[in-house]
Amino acid sequence: MVRLENLSKTYRGKAEAVTALDGCTLRVSAGEFVSVQGPSGCGKTTLLLVAGGLLRPDSGRVTLDGRDPYALPAEERARMRADRIGFVFQRFHLMPYLTVLDNVLAASLARPSDGARERALALIDRVGLSPRLNHLPSELSTGERQRVALARAMLNQPRVLLADEPTGNLDPASGEAVLKHLAGFADTGGAVLLVTHDARAAEYAGRVVRMADGRLLDG
């Protein structure tokens, strides 16, 4: 489902160059939950952005569901992301003036389809937020906001979920709830790639890969 082959990425500043990815190779199959764990600054977020078609690597190849997103024109690559990938970020990225329902439905703007509202309501119920349907993000706890973001990520029925430190701002109970939902997505045949420094993720992921200094050390 997700193939990362010998990826390299260097950020070049005026004073120095920083290598974020140094020959990274990783595969995540359908139905698999893989957690990449390592300290802050080791290259985890860069790995996820490259995997999601958001940041072109300097070298190496990305294949998502059999296609290389970086071989596509920008508009087609954006459609591919909307069709096949759901993103979950540490800071939620919810729109403060939209309700829970409308925040989830915002994902359908990138990929309009019949039944989006019904799917949104079902996903909101699945993450336990039906009583908060018409609440604004400011009226939610941090854990509830992340569950809204997770429902939004799944609205377009993606094949892959990419999660960047989704438990980083959460209390232990809320973090475990999010990890359980990610594991549930993998159980239904989706592929999950989670990057985190949260050791609890190992309890839910089927495979844990360690990362340090831009390199994947195992996996």
Residue 113 confidence (pLDDT): 77
The number of folded domains in the chain is 1
Residue 49 confidence (pLDDT): 95
Strand partners, 56: none
Banded model confidence at residue 40, pLDDT cuts 50, 70, 90: confident
Percent of the chain with pLDDT over 90: 72
Question: What is the pLDDT averaged over residues 183-199?
Answer: 92
Q: Which residue has 């979950």 as its token pair?
A: 88
Banded model confidence at residue 218, pLDDT cuts 50, 70, 90: confident
pLDDT (tens digit per residue) in 49-66: 999 999 999 999 999 988
Instruction: Give me the chain's average pLDDT, please.
Output: 92
Is residue 110 over pLDDT 80?
A: no
Is residue 67 over pLDDT 70?
A: yes
Residue 209 confidence (pLDDT): 94
pLDDT (tens digit per residue) in 123-177: 999 999 999 999 999 999 999 999 999 999 999 999 999 999 998 888 888 889 8
CATH number at residue 7: 3.40.50.300
Residue span of the structural domain in which 182 resides: 2-216
Residue 44 confidence (pLDDT): 93
Banded model confidence at residue 72, pLDDT cuts 50, 70, 90: very high
Residue 60 confidence (pLDDT): 96
Residue 109 confidence (pLDDT): 85
Residue 199 confidence (pLDDT): 85
Residue 111 confidence (pLDDT): 75
H-helix segments, the chain: 44-51, 74-84, 100-105, 116-126, 142-154, 172-187
149, with CB counted inside 10 A (0-12, 13-18, 19+), is: buried
Question: Which region holds residue 103: left if phi is over 0, alpha if psi is between -120 and 50, else beta?
Answer: alpha
Is residue 25 over pLDDT 60?
A: yes
Higher pLDDT: 111 or 77? It is 77
Vertex 74: Cα angle to 72 and 78 (nearest 5): 95
Residue 4 confidence (pLDDT): 96
